A and B are shown apart, each in its own frame.
Chain A
């Protein structure tokens, strides 16, 4: 079982789109995938038309394996299940603070309830918290979407700083440029600069800013299911190939 977190300490960078499309790519490749929506806003669940979980609330997420398992829903796609969010997920930090081993509770819960899966994706809320620390410890890989702008550059610096400060393994961080607009000089410059600064942290693949991805909200489905030949679909496939197999698409 492999745990892949999709995380960014900045909001609106394409986290959920990444989780949904990557999870779908892994399932299409024949893996059994569970996508856990840890963000109380429940956007991942929304994209798969799965209603928010009613009963998996409060601390049960970490304590009640049976409830956790029962809350899992099959998506409309072969090999891809979804754990929808619950609004009480916003209080995760409160529950965690009351628990012993509060930094490793998430991993424990995932291992107990997710044994049926080859890959578990975590769609994470955008902040630094006890939950994010749990995520950093639980995940084998942390996929970080970065919009090539000054503000994003700053938040990525903070994330790397946090890892250094807490002696977390920086090798887990797999950043990539998201919502890239190639015509913008700012984007080009920022990308070049950051690739120079964090040579090992950045994947070669980047995801373009396209209308097809924005339309996910209307279709409520992964991009490849309604725009199979689009640049966005190809980009997510390339991201999967690079993440999973280390293959960089030649373009």
Chain B
């Protein structure tokens, strides 16, 4: 029964009036549609809205958000290319709270929208059910949203209309996308990669690399179009994962092959580094301004103006690189290489089964990480803390790569304190890198005699002082965060998950 329904339906393929009418004996259905108007369907690259069961439409300067439960918010605003936090205040912005702040709204498709009304009449032409329709059409298909209104005293007609529409929906929200954009690929920054416990390690490595190569490639267009900074970030993370596979999966490739792959992927990564650094500084601009008193703001602003200029130069350089035929050939070759693993030179562990290989790698990395972490005291040099950050990252990557082979709940228990420790180490590193960058910036801006513009110098000096304080504070937290991770429960989990065979 549809008694519990709220009268909202998503109909892939549109509303079939004849079928609807024939399901309602002694009633007629009157549908009046307005004129079609062009519409943009907006979401961010990883389709956060779709994942949360919503669609955002932009049409004639207004935004309309429809959820799969049928709630609608509307607001006058342009959405394309905007960040949600920068939209004018209104119902759509309010409903979108929680949308990723680093992601811009971008068209995932275009089509036409039509609004209409629907009336179900009895033999006396008395309205028994009223409704309205929003119809979306692309060149591939169409979808109708239908809202039915239960009129007082006509529950029976409402229930049978709902039942009949219920039979025309196929259920899931994804059907809507399948109907409108059948070929749309769903972007996932971290795709699920199926692994078998006995799968040869070489196969695991090539599966991972092939997958992340494809993830990287899906971000190229967004980097070039400069939609938001997450495209470059995801691009770099994918390449970094690949490099981790190459360096952490010891013995899977031959030494020569490993060295070659390391070089290839390091070369791919190199032209992206400066742009990402600049992105990070610019994203943190407000934070920087808050760090120093207002009388230093002019200098900070001048600094950021230069960052903006440099970013524009870096972006056009990277764009040229990504659009070059040399790059295209290199990426096609790599994709080719990793879809035919026979082309790669195997190492001694190439045939080892994934599960036992994973246990050995993770166990070894875990012990190494703990040994280093336990050695850290107040007096340990900063470099050791940096090394710990790298070790934790490697451990985390290994666990994520092989995650599908292990108990998800146990992994969650381990990863929670590990992530906290990593966040802590990450901030420690960021503050240190930012100080170095500021020093480098000032020395870049200074004359041959070592003189620098006073405003810039003051701003940089002020920032460095605050960042140094923050770095020290983060460092002070490392020992206690590690102790959380090094609890008896986590130790036991590591042993039982990765070291039980040796007992």
Q: How many A-B residue pairs have CB under 8 A?
A: 27
Docked complex Cα distance between A73 and B124 (Å): 14
Docked complex Cα distance between A81 and B151 (Å): 10
B125 within 8 A of A: yes
> Shortest beta-carbon distance, A165 to chain B, in Å?
39
Return 20 A-B CB contacts under 8 Å, by A number. A49-B122, A49-B124, A49-B125, A49-B126, A50-B126, A50-B153, A51-B126, A70-B153, A71-B153, A72-B152, A72-B153, A73-B151, A73-B152, A73-B153, A74-B127, A74-B151, A74-B152, A74-B154, A76-B127, A220-B124
Size band of the B side of the interface? Answer: under 10
Q: Which residue of B lies closest to A46 (CB)?
A: B124
Q: Which residue of A lies closest to B151 (CB)?
A: A74
3 A-B pairs with the lowest CB-CB distances in the bound complex, closest first: A73-B153, A49-B126, A74-B151
Binary per-residue interface labels of chain A (37-50) against chain B in the complex, 1 for a CB within 8 Å, 0 otherwise: 00000000000111
Q: Are A74 and B153 in contact (CB under 8 A)?
A: yes
> Shortest beta-carbon distance, A204 to chain B, in Å?
35
Q: Which residue of B lies closest to A53 (CB)?
A: B153
Binary per-residue interface labels of chain B (132-176) against chain A in the complex, 1 for a CB within 8 Å, 0 otherwise: 000000000000000000011110000000000000000000000
Q: Are B153 and A76 in contact (CB under 8 A)?
A: no
Q: Are A81 and B152 in contact (CB under 8 A)?
A: yes
- Which residues from B are CB-within-8-Å of A48? 126
- Which residues from A are CB-within-8-Å of B127? 74, 76
Which applies to chain A's interface (DSSP): helix, strand, loop or mixed? loop
> Shortest beta-carbon distance, A221 to chain B, in Å?
10
Binary per-residue interface labels of chain A (46-86) against chain B in the complex, 1 for a CB within 8 Å, 0 otherwise: 00111100000000000000000011111010000100000
- Which residues from B are CB-within-8-Å of A220? 124
- Which residues from B are CB-within-8-Å of A51? 124, 126
Q: Which residue of B lies closest to A71 (CB)?
A: B153
Q: Are A76 and B126 in contact (CB under 8 A)?
A: yes
Docked complex Cα distance between A81 and B127 (Å): 12
> Shortest beta-carbon distance, A120 to chain B, in Å?
14
Beyond A50-B126, A74-B127, 8 additional contacts (C-beta under 8 Å) are A48-B126, A50-B153, A70-B153, A72-B153, A73-B152, A74-B154, A76-B127, A81-B153
Q: Which residue of A lies closest to B127 (CB)?
A: A76
Q: Which residue of A lies closest to B152 (CB)?
A: A74
- Which residues from B are CB-within-8-Å of A71? 153
> Shortest beta-carbon distance, A45 to chain B, in Å?
10
- Which residues from A are CB-within-8-Å of B125? 49
- Which residues from A are CB-within-8-Å of B122? 49
- Which residues from B are CB-within-8-Å of A50? 126, 153
Docked complex Cα distance between A47 and B122 (Å): 15
Binary per-residue interface labels of chain B (32-53) against chain A in the complex, 1 for a CB within 8 Å, 0 otherwise: 0000000000000000000000
Docked complex Cα distance between A92 and B39 (Å): 60
- Which residues from A are CB-within-8-Å of B152? 72-74, 81
Which of B127, B151, B152, B154 has the largest number of chain A CB atoms within 10 A?
Answer: B152
Within 8 A of A (CB), among B288-312: none
Which of A70, A71, A73, A74 has the largest number of chain B CB atoms within 10 A?
Answer: A74
